Amino acid sequence: MNTLEVAHQIVTLCRQGKNEEAHQQLYADDAVSVEAFAPNGGNRESRGLAAIKAKGAWWRDNHVIHSASVTGPWPHGDRFIVGYQYDVTFKPSGQRMMLDEVGLYTVAHGKIVREEFFYNAG
Amino acid sequence: MNTLEVAHQIVTLCRQGKNEEAHQQLYADDAVSVEAFAPNGGNRESRGLAAIKAKGAWWRDNHVIHSASVTGPWPHGDRFIVGYQYDVTFKPSGQRMMLDEVGLYTVAHGKIVREEFFYNAG
């Protein structure tokens, strides 16, 4: 798949809530995922598909998703941007919140090799 | 200014339609602006503040802006993303259209040194 096809496919799968399938289908084995901030003093980077899947599993296990909106993609060369808005409850605290973030993705050889998340500070 | 202050300032100025002031205040003299696609076979890159200002002036001269929405910023390290939605008429053709793009900005020493535009392909 070219970059635009990868971009459309991740949007399609995430709109269906198939985030695990997106990781499996679209990510390179050595992909890197970078958060804007380190959760609880942890590492901002997850290196490798196994670590990225584990981060996704933790997130799904710890949040109730009330609604989700996925926007884009916005492509540019070998990169593209996708917007995510989630209305979630964080299970450990019971706190309900709106998450508004964008992902910047880099594609090489038809696979996502890097994703970087940006959080709304508006 | 740090990256987040630059990000908030460009959002504030662009919401006020003060895009020229944003260039003057916030951009490095050697900043580079990169479009996702080359207009009319031209160059995707504008190098230097003078070229960026000229591109902005051309854009303002050739569009009637019916409404504009600026969203974000979404920061991540020394970069941030801003969303732009414009309802415009392109004067030479008379065609009215919705533009939906995001800008990815890189800051160094308190100034924007690179902006890259991504266009919605959703």
Question: Quick check: B49 and B23 in contact, CB under 8 A?
Answer: yes
- Helix axes A19-26 and A49-62, enclosed angle (nearest 10): 180
- How far away is chain A from the Cα of B82, in angstroms, using its nearest Cα? 9
Rounded CA gap, A5 and A109, in Å?
12
DSSP letter (8 states) at residue A83 = E
Whether the pTM exceeds 0.90: the reply is yes
Q: Which two tokens stand for residue A106?
A: 């880099």
- Determine the pLDDT at residue B49: 97
Does residue A42 have a pLDDT over 80?
no
**What's B122's DSSP letter?**
-
Q: Which residue type is seen at A2?
A: N
**Min Cα–Cα distance to chain A from B104, Å:** 9
Please give the domain boundaries of chain A with CATH numbers for all domains. Answer: 3-119 (3.10.450.50)
Phi, psi angle pair for A46, to nearest 5° = -115, 120
| A121–B73 CB contact, under 8 Å | yes
Query: In sequence order, what DSSP letters do the residues of B66-91 get, joined into one string?
Result: EEEEEEEEEEETTEEEEEEEEEEEET
Query: Distance between CA atoms of B111 and A108, rounded to whole angstroms?
Result: 30
Q: What is the pLDDT of residue A38?
A: 79
| Complex ipTM more than 0.95, yes or no | no
Q: What is the pLDDT of residues B42-82, one digit of tens each?
A: 789 999 999 999 999 999 999 999 999 999 999 999 999 99
DSSP state of A36: S
Task: Quick: pLDDT tens for B80-101.
Answer: 999 999 999 999 999 999 999 9
pLDDT (tens digit per residue) in A56-93: 999 999 999 999 999 999 999 999 999 999 999 999 99
Two tokens, residue B100: 């939906």
Beta pairing class for B27-34 and B111-119: parallel
Contact B121 A77 (CB under 8 A): no
B36 chain-A contacts, CB cut-off 8 A? 75-77
Backbone angles phi, psi at A51, to 5 degrees: -65, -35
> Taking an 8 Å Cβ-Cβ cutoff, which residues of chain A contact chain B?
4, 7-8, 11, 34, 36, 71-77, 79-81, 83, 100-102, 104, 116-122
- Hey, are the CB atoms on A102 and B74 less than 8 Å from each other? yes
Which residues of B fall within a CB distance of 8 Å from A79?
A: 118
A120–B72: do the CB atoms touch at under 8 Å?
yes
> What pLDDT, on a 0 to 100 scale, did the predictor assign at position A37?
86
Instruction: Count how many pairs of residues, chain A against chain B, have C-beta atoms within 8 Å.
Output: 78
Least Cα separation, residue B32 to chain A (angstroms) = 15
Phi, psi of A91 (to 5 degrees): -60, -45
